[in-house]
Amino acid sequence: MSSGTLRLGRREFDAYEPVVMAIVNRTPDSFYDQGATFRDRPALDRVEQAVSEGAAIIDIGGVKAGPGDEVTATEEARRTVGFVAEVRRRHPDVVISVDTWRHEVGEAVCEAGADVLNDAWGGVDPRLAEVAARYGAGLVCTHAGGAEPRTRPHRIAYDDVLADILRVTLGLAERAVELGVRRDGIMIDPGHDFGKNTRHSLEATRRLGEMTETGWPVLVSLSNKDFVGETLDKPVKERVIGTLATTAVSAWLGARVYRVHEVAETKQVLDMVASIAGHRPPAVARRGLA
pLDDT above 90 for 35:
no
- What is the SS3 assignment for the chain? CCCCCEEECCEEECCCCCEEEEEEECCCCCCCCCCCCCCHHHHHHHHHHHHHCCCCEEEEECCCCCCCCCCCHHHHHHHHHHHHHHHHHHCCCCEEEEECCCHHHHHHHHHHCCCEEEECCCCCCCHHHHHHHHHCCEEEEECCCCCCCCCCCCCCCCCCHHHHHHHHHHHHHHHHHHHCCCHHHEEEECCCCCCCCHHHHHHHHHCHHHHHCCCCCEEEECCCCHHHHHHHCCCHHHCHHHHHHHHHHHHHCCCCEEEECCHHHHHHHHHHHHHHHCCCCCCCCCCCCC
The model's confidence at residue 49, banded by pLDDT at 50, 70 and 90, is very high
- Give pLDDT, residue 38: 84
pLDDT in tens, 231-276: 999 999 999 999 999 999 999 999 999 999 999 999 999 999 999 9
- Give pLDDT, residue 63: 95
Look at the alpha carbons of 36, 40, 41, 47 in this order and tell me if their dihedral is positive or negative: positive
For 141, counting Cβ atoms within 10 Å of its Cβ (0-12 exposed, 13-18 middle, 19+ buried), the class is buried
The answer to whether residue 282 is domain-embedded is no
pLDDT above 90 for 73:
yes
The answer to whether residue 246 is domain-embedded is yes
pLDDT above 50 for 1:
no
The answer to whether residue 183 is domain-embedded is yes
Range of the domain at 246: 6-277
- What's the domain count of the chain? 1
**107 neighbors 131 (Cβ within 8 angstroms):** yes
Residue 159's CB: how many other CB atoms inside 10 A? 6
The answer to whether residue 28 is domain-embedded is yes
- Distance between CA atoms of residues 131 and 108, nearest Å: 10
The answer to whether residue 48 is domain-embedded is yes
The better pLDDT of the pair 101, 153 is held by 101
- Distance between CA atoms of residues 189 and 204, nearest Å: 10
pLDDT above 60 for 94:
yes
Q: Comparing C-alpha atoms, which of 28, 93, 88, 96 is closest to residue 64? A: 28
The fraction of the chain above a pLDDT of 70, given in percent, is 98
pLDDT above 60 for 209:
yes
The answer to whether residue 208 is domain-embedded is yes
Contacts of 128 (CB under 8 A, 6+ apart): 100, 101, 102, 103, 106, 117, 119, 139
What CATH number is attached to the domain comprising 130?
3.20.20.20
**pTM confidence score:** 0.96
Q: Any bridge partners for residue 164, and if so which?
A: none
The answer to whether residue 1 is domain-embedded is no
The answer to whether residue 284 is domain-embedded is no
The model's confidence at residue 3, banded by pLDDT at 50, 70 and 90, is low
pLDDT in tens, 134-187: 999 999 999 999 999 999 999 999 999 999 999 999 999 999 999 999 999 999
- Give pLDDT, residue 34: 65
Contacts of 238 (CB under 8 A, 6+ apart): 232
pLDDT above 60 for 2:
no
What are the residue numbers of the active site?
225, 259
Task: Label residue 264 left, alpha or beta by phi (over 0 means left) and psi (-120 to 50 means alpha).
Answer: alpha
Q: Comparing C-alpha atoms, which of 187, 200, 205, 196 is closest to residue 256? A: 187
State how far Cα 165 lies from the chain centre: 16
- Give pLDDT, residue 159: 98
- Give pLDDT, residue 201: 98
258: phi then psi, degrees, rounded to nearest 5: -130, 115
- Give pLDDT, residue 286: 94
Q: For 19-39, what is the mean pLDDT? A: 86
